[in-house]
Amino acid sequence: MGEQTERMAWVDMAKGLSIFLVVMMYAASSVGEDTGGVGAFHWAIAFATPFRMPEFFMISGLFLARVIDRPWPLFADRRVVHYLYFYALWAVIHIVFKVGLLAADPLGAIEQLAWAVIQPYGVLWFIYLLAVVGAVTKLMHSLKAPVWAVFGVGAILQMSAVHTGSYLVDQFAAYFVFFYAGYVLAPLLFRLADWALDHAVAAVAGIAVWAAINAALVFSPGFAMHPIHPQMGFGGLPGLHLLLAIVGTAALCTLAALLTRLPAMDWLRWLGSKSLVIYVAFVLPMGIARTLLIKLGLIEPTVLTFAIMAIAIIAPLVLYWLVLRTGLGGFLFERPAWAHLPGTSRPRNAAAPSAAE
């Protein structure tokens, strides 16, 4: 691996860590909801609570500076329409399968499809929100809004724990600042990754110190383990949560850079390069696997969570492989020409880009 390739591979490695944590969270919470049990993965997710989703958004903003000066149609095609296409497609697939077919409720499916236009559906809320935060960031850039003023407003929204009843508005308030932070802090994060590659011992020591502090603040007084959503201790306080999220993302970027030096971990980098493939398609096999395994008597939370995590990650990759092998269903992971804005279509690889690209 060349030096430049090695110094960029950490981004895919970070995406791999991101998608792994997200699938783990949904698997553990669903197991907790169905069985009421708590296993080792619940404790891992509790530790990662401050940075788990913020890291996904920050990684998504890393390369925004490369495209933000493009004309609006080109930017919107790549950073807005792109995500809305995959959101709309997979929202239809999820709703039709789960509500229309499994629940045999076609009217309910039509109602949910209508709501999905204005209220992000299920796990796909992240894809929907990427389109929104990308458009808002471009708008702020076009208006020449001061960068740190925008960051400050985003930070205030995040610390205010906004609850309007609109899932879109609430999630935007909670996560816009992290996407914007990825855009603003990208040069620092890239320099940090370069430093980690050149100072591995010091980087490992820094990660150890961060992990100890993060754990102390998460599991401090006020912490409550719950089978679905663990409650943080001091780490959940406004301002401190924001700081832990940003520092936690920096720590994971550092870890990702170090992992690129380990050939045995290249599978995680590859996983990161296919993170959108996994993200849009993991929920259905996860739900099916959980239902079948519980019916077969597997209820120990740690083993059950691990099993459905493995299935939820592998199944989308198998589907993706079948699409490549057969040439059928390419629209599932590759945006077709008709789904581009006029004059912006360009040839693409068969694989959809990663969710955090």
The predicted-structure confidence for 256-297, as pLDDT tens digits, reads as follows: 999 999 999 999 999 999 999 999 999 999 999 999 999 999
What percent of the chain shows pLDDT beyond 90? 86
Q: Is residue 4 very low, low, confident or very high in pLDDT (cuts 50, 70, 90)?
A: very low
The residues near 91 (Cβ < 8 Å, ≥ 6 apart) are: 113, 116, 121, 122, 124
Mind giving me the DSSP string for 223-291?
A: -B--SSSPBPSGGGSTTHHHHHHHHHHHHHHHHHHHHTT-GGGHHHHHHHHTHHHHHHHSHHHHHHHHH
Q: Tell me which residue of 141, 17, 5, 1 sits closest to 71, measured CA to CA.
A: 141
The predicted-structure confidence for 79-98, as pLDDT tens digits, reads as follows: 999 999 999 999 999 999 98
> Is residue 19 within 8 Å of 281, Cβ to Cβ?
no
Going through 14-138 in order, the beta strands assigned E by DSSP cover none
pTM of the model: 0.92
The predicted-structure confidence for 324-356, as pLDDT tens digits, reads as follows: 999 999 999 999 999 999 888 664 443 444 544
Query: What pLDDT, on the 0 to 100 scale, is given for residue 154?
Result: 97
pLDDT reading at 5 higher than 80: no
Mind giving me the DSSP string for 152-213?
A: HHHHHHHHTT---S-HHHHHHHHHHHHHHHHHHHHHHHHHHHHHHHH-HHHHHHHHHHHHHH
* Residue 224 β-bridge partners: 231
pLDDT reading at 6 higher than 90: no
